[in-house]
Chain A
């Protein structure tokens, strides 16, 4: 074992487990306290009508240095885009520009209350209006709402608009069709919107099976949801036939815009016949993923659907002022206030930094980098769909499993030892032992090559030292986790050890 591990590269962050912040500090340690009270004290229980807290409250008691040491240690155990290559398919883990971070923290943005009068927030409303315009241009769909907080929230918002439009025309419908390659959020949004999901199988080429689609579509179909480019990284060349078939039964064509990075400035979902699209600003428009969020999922729609968009959207009046506006047949609100404004500022900054030409170059390089990696890796692994890909592609680790008993999970964990974040694995489900790789345009060639070298080395290692892969990772702050135990006996909060 030791000998086999001699080849394990270093470089991955390596700090071990850390005690909980609740275990740190002394009982009297404090960090930030409010100023001395300059108004008369109140008797709490009286002020609160007899419900002053009697239950003990136990928050951390630490100094500022202890906080910084604690979170520095935690940060050291974390892997971000700044730590290394992060080729997570369908997630677009591109560089998060720092000027975006500075922009959203300008006091004139971060310190504004959402219910201030419109004359005091003209800059914020103008920024939103300009971003709406840019997204309309990029998508080819002129109605834009910036309200949704995430991609899934955008999907649901669009489905609500479809429901409202069908209901308004006296034609309420019951189901939504999705391909089996759809992101899990699609069917989950369908359920939340009160529709039934009908899943159709993809063709052997990884594309929509047009016959299966046509068979599933009928006048009870509210919509067809499609990610295009799809989740195996292919642009569906039948797209015009697809949207036509959907419209032929009076349904709406919905584009999951998770993969917009591939087509910026090259083609537009509105031109392809889609009626609605959500865009993940935290993917295509460089806003950070934040360890899970916040993102933003603006929705772009046709003029027909624009009157159903959630309130408010931002409008420009003839006198040059920007105002929040309720579309005439709005579905209503989908959240509080104006959306994830801080995320919108970052995305707007990115759009203005790159401009139209820069955005087009993003798509071109993202697609070229993906195709380059695909070529480098297609012999070491199986490539189920051997054709030009978009910004990502899917490999299969099926051969390694059959021949050496090494699973894609093992490959992914071994990549961690090489200092790389693994690709998305086991998705989409139509590919056996899937590895879905999205390099993005911001990676240098040296990183692409180093990653390809590592994946090829791991494929060789699968033949020579499969046990090293089975037990990987070896260099990370912790090793493989007992996930079954976590689910069997959930421990979901810290509690003081019994004395």
Chain B
């Protein structure tokens, strides 16, 4: 295929206008020894029919959630995406636009993001949300960097009950020495409060996920008190669907709230692009990473939206910026805004309640059959961990052959969690599917 509209005749005319006879004369600044004369060793281009069947063949070599019954989560969830979400995202005025640096012709993106920011503030209870980060893991890391900046301390106390990918990401970023994470052990299926008390001295922040990697709800009220007594910032990672029915972190004194927002209208898409959401208290806004949309007026006095507080950002502050982020996940934020409008307060609460009820139903049923036992007994949302008495990978392979994605093998993410399986149940799962799954588990 070819997306170049210039004809041969026009090309000749353009060459003449530039005063050359051959296009290679434009590449004379490239030293001769490194000019590529033999072309690229990449197969010839394909027409649309060929190309589409090639891609379809690749796609067909994957088994998607639509052909399997999935109980997988761990940061990527099989929620229903209302049709309207993709129809809005496919409006080319949104997806073919650049960052809204020219506000006069970007009011669409700007207002949509402003409304997204509002939705995240509503869910988290925080004052301010930015226009998005890459994903939950990088939003979490940025929160650690921000806390270190605000408190002028490097020590960051982090729960061990966070997603292993987030932990590894944080450790990678920490190698630069800007932050020094100290991990607090678990007490069963939650973070050890005693561990936090011991580690918090001199820390810039304490960071926990609630629900945590086991799906369990942490005691945010108590942790918040410990953190603030020590003069550190309280960073909480949360699940945005659950926040519809769960007291938001702001009520427990959270200073920064982050999380993975893929559940809000983005496809699983093999794990990306998802959506990192990032919210904080007003007093911290000038230390925040990422873009922010604000409301103002134009010279005629009309209400309008614009990127604001940009002096925090890399294109202005360069090495003193609050982050290096430039491209973010604006289109996923737009999707989240449309999603929140499509489900509304009542819909999101009902979805959360359905997920919780179905997850509790599955857990109760699994406890009745051999093989699985409780990992802990802390309250959870719609994801829960269980111990499996046997080889997890073999069990999952068998159930896959019967059409089920039997949870996430936490041991494959972190050897410390060997033998632990994490199940997520979304509103899409039916009682029939859950019952069938339990029957298959019982027959193992």
Contacts and interface: CB of A to CB of B under 8 A. Distances in A.
A44 interface: yes
Interface stretch (A95-103, A394-402, A457-465): A95-103
Interface stretch (B169-177, B198-206, B228-236, B366-374): B169-177
Given A44-B353, A112-B269, A341-B271, A31 B342 contact: yes
B188 interface: no
B93 A114 contact: no
Interface string B264-291: 0001111111100000000001000001
A105 B105 CA distance: 28
B17 A336 contact: no
Contacts of A340: 134, 272-273
A303 interface: no
A478 B298 contact: yes
Contacts of B341: 21, 31, 59-60, 62, 67, 70
Contacts, number: 727
Contacts of A416: 102, 104-105
B159 to A, nearest CB: 17
Interface residues of A, number: 209
Interface residues of B, number: 213
A240 B31 contact: yes
B444 interface: no
Interface in B198-218: 217
A109 B269 contact: yes
Nearest to A236: B29
Interface in A343-377: 343, 345, 349, 351-362, 364-365, 367-369, 371-372, 375-376
A318 B92 CA distance: 43
A487 interface: yes
Contacts of B298: 478-482
A452 B320 CA distance: 38
Interface in A459-489: 471, 473, 476-483, 485-487
Interface in A309-367: 310-311, 331-343, 345, 349, 351-362, 364-365, 367
B207 to A, nearest CB: 16
A78 B93 contact: yes
B56 interface: yes
B217 A51 contact: yes
Given A32-B342, A49-B379, A353-B1, A78 B94 contact: yes
B416 interface: no
B10 interface: yes
A123 B42 CA distance: 19
Contacts of B310: 487
A462 B98 CA distance: 28
Contacts of B64: 107-112
B357 A75 contact: no
B172 A331 contact: yes
Given A78-B106, A240-B31, A335-B169, A88 B121 contact: no
B340 A353 contact: no
B415 interface: no
A354 B45 contact: yes
Contacts of B417: none
A288 B99 CA distance: 11
A144 interface: no
B76 interface: yes
Contacts of B299: 471, 479-482
B347 to A, nearest CB: 5
A478 B304 contact: yes
B168 A333 contact: yes
Interface in A20-46: 20-22, 29-35, 37-42, 44
A412 to B, nearest CB: 7
Interface hub of B6, B97, B132 (most chain A Cβ within 10 A): B97
Interface string B153-191: 000000000010110110111011110000000000000
Contacts of B106: 77-79, 291
A68 B84 contact: yes
Interface in B50-80: 51-52, 54-66, 70, 72, 74-76, 78, 80
A239 B327 contact: no
B319 A332 contact: no
Interface string A147-178: 00111110110001001100000000000000
B420 to A, nearest CB: 14
Nearest to B79: A34
B14 interface: yes
Interface stretch (A1-9, A208-216, A246-254, A260-268): A260-268
A160 B302 contact: no
Nearest to A391: B26
A375 B330 contact: no
Nearest to A361: B4
A445 interface: yes
A349 B58 contact: no
Contacts of A21: 115, 337, 341
A239 B17 contact: no
A113 B405 contact: yes
A483 B103 CA distance: 10
Contacts of A236: 29
Contacts of A197: 318-319
A152 B43 contact: no
A79 B102 contact: yes
Contacts of B347: 30-34
B70 A150 contact: no
B318 to A, nearest CB: 4
Nearest to B128: A492
A48 B346 contact: no
A219 interface: no
B273 to A, nearest CB: 4
B201 to A, nearest CB: 24
A103 B251 CA distance: 43
Nearest to B137: A336
A420 B195 CA distance: 59
Contact of B28 (A104, A388, A443, A444): A388
Contact of A266 (B35, B171, B306, B409): B35
A79 B269 contact: no
A403 interface: no
A485 B303 CA distance: 12
Contacts of B15: 368
Contacts of A407: none
Contact of A368 (B23, B31, B274, B431): B23
A192 B177 CA distance: 9
B135 A341 contact: no
Given A68-B87, A482-B297, A75 B344 contact: no
A109 B107 contact: no
B403 to A, nearest CB: 12
Nearest to B25: A388
B3 A442 contact: yes
Interface string B393-421: 10011001000010011001100000000
A106 B43 CA distance: 23
B172 to A, nearest CB: 4
Given A99-B1, A115-B76, A339-B272, A477 B107 contact: yes
Nearest to A20: B115
A379 to B, nearest CB: 13
Interface string B111-139: 11111011101110101110110111110
10 contacts: A30-B347, A60-B341, A112-B65, A149-B135, A164-B175, A267-B35, A291-B94, A292-B109, A333-B137, A372-B18
Sort A-B residue pairs by CB-CB distance and give the 5 closest, nearest first.
Answer: A337-B271, A49-B379, A108-B59, A114-B271, A123-B61
Given A50-B379, A134-B42, 18 more contacts: A34-B351, A35-B427, A37-B354, A47-B379, A80-B97, A104-B269, A109-B59, A150-B134, A192-B324, A265-B39, A292-B109, A293-B332, A336-B260, A341-B273, A359-B42, A362-B4, A416-B104, A443-B5
